[in-house]
Structures are given as C-alpha cells and as structure tokens.
C-alpha cells in the first residue's frame, strides 16, 4: 500500500514540474534547418540604387516572362531526390532563359490541391505567359525535359 502511494506522489510531482516548465525549459531544442541550393529561393541582394527601386515598383520592368518548369515532390521520396540534380543543372545552364521551381508538397499541403497533383514527383511545363503546356509524373531526365520543351515549341537556347 505504501508503494502505491509513493508512485502516485511521484507522478504528481512530475506532472507539477512539467506544467511549471521545470523540466521543459532544460530540454534542448533542435536547431532550425536551412535549405540551400539552386531550387530553393535565395534572398535578393539589397540595392539602394534608384534603378533597382524602379524595377521593384514596376513589375513589367522587373524581368521578362520566361517559360517555367515546376517540380512538385518531396525531399523524402527517392524519385524526387533524383530530380534535384536535374533541376540544379537546368537552373544553372538555362539561367535567364528558364525558371525552375520546386514545391515540397508534404510541407506545403495546399500545393497538391492547388496544382491537382496526385503522385509525386510531378513536373509541370509552362510557357512564358504562364499557360500550362504539359505534365509528367515520375523521374524525368534532363535530356527528355529539353526534348519536351522543344516539342512544345519552347526555345531554350543556351
């Protein structure tokens, strides 16, 4: 009987300590992970020039419209991981000629519904005006992506 009351008392002390943050405040929190790479957006460099301010104010002057390849996947699935190197290469080789984007649908759950994605990875091809031209599901090699853009009439000269 005494042992039972001891357990109840110990549990009560533990509950009281946790509720007062006695134990919770000593626990170490994991450091925030920072994504880097060509498919993740990087902050724009700060510029104080008047031309840069005018560019920001006028969306027409900010940049010309480009065709876009949007990859919807996850950083956890195998075919999606295979797409990372393809997307990085396209980003570097076709800078200023093609926009390449990536959305992790497991982190941004609303993206699957917005883009009507049921299987990942899914690549969506857009023309310079933002009109969807084609969709592909699964791993898609770089050469096939370039061939598809050519087939769709989108010129991506280096």
How confident is the model at residue 148, as a pLDDT?
97
User: What is the pLDDT averaged over residues 91-117?
Assistant: 95
Cα gap 16→3, rounded to integer Å: 20
Q: Give the residue from 122, 21, 25 showing the smallest Cα distance to 80.
A: 122
Range 103-125 average pLDDT: 95
Phi, then psi, of 90 in degrees rounded to 5: -60, -40
Which of 45, 67, 44 lies closest to 156, judged by CA?
67
* 141, two tokens: 């090699």
Say what angle helices 142-151 and 78-93 make with each other, to 10 degrees. Answer: 60
Q: Assign domain 62-151 to its CATH architecture.
A: 3-Layer(aba) Sandwich (3.40)
Cα 102-127-62 angle, rounded to 5 deg? 75
Instruction: Name the residue with higher pLDDT: 32 or 90.
Output: 90
Instruction: Judge whether residue 71 has pLDDT over 90.
Output: yes
Phi, psi of 9 (to 5 degrees): -65, -45
Give the number of other CB atoms < 10 A from CB of residue 145. Answer: 23
List 135's β-bridge partners, or say none: 124
For position 144, what pLDDT does the model report?
97
Listed by start position, the domains of the chain span 62-151
Instruction: Decide: helix, strand or coil at residue 73.
Output: strand
* Averaged pLDDT for residues 18-29: 42
């Amino acid at each position: 009987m005494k042992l039972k009351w001891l357990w109840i008392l110990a549990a009560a002390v533990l509950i009281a300590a946790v509720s007062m943050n006695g134990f919770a405040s000593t626990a170490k929190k994991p450091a925030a992970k920072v994504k880097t790479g060509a498919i993740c957006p990087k902050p724009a460099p700060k510029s104080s020039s008047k031309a840069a301010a005018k560019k920001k104010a006028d969306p027409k002057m900010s940049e010309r419209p480009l065709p876009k390849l949007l990859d919807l996947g996850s950083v956890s699935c195998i075919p999606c991981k295979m797409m990372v190197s393809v997307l990085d290469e396209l980003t570097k080789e076709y800078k200023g000629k093609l926009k390449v984007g990536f959305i992790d649908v497991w982190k941004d759950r609303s993206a699957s519904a917005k883009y009507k994605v049921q299987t990942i990875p899914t690549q969506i091809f857009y023309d310079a005006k933002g009109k969807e031209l084609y969709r592909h599901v699964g791993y898609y090699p770089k050469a096939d992506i370039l061939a598809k853009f050519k087939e769709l009439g989108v010129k991506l000269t280096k």
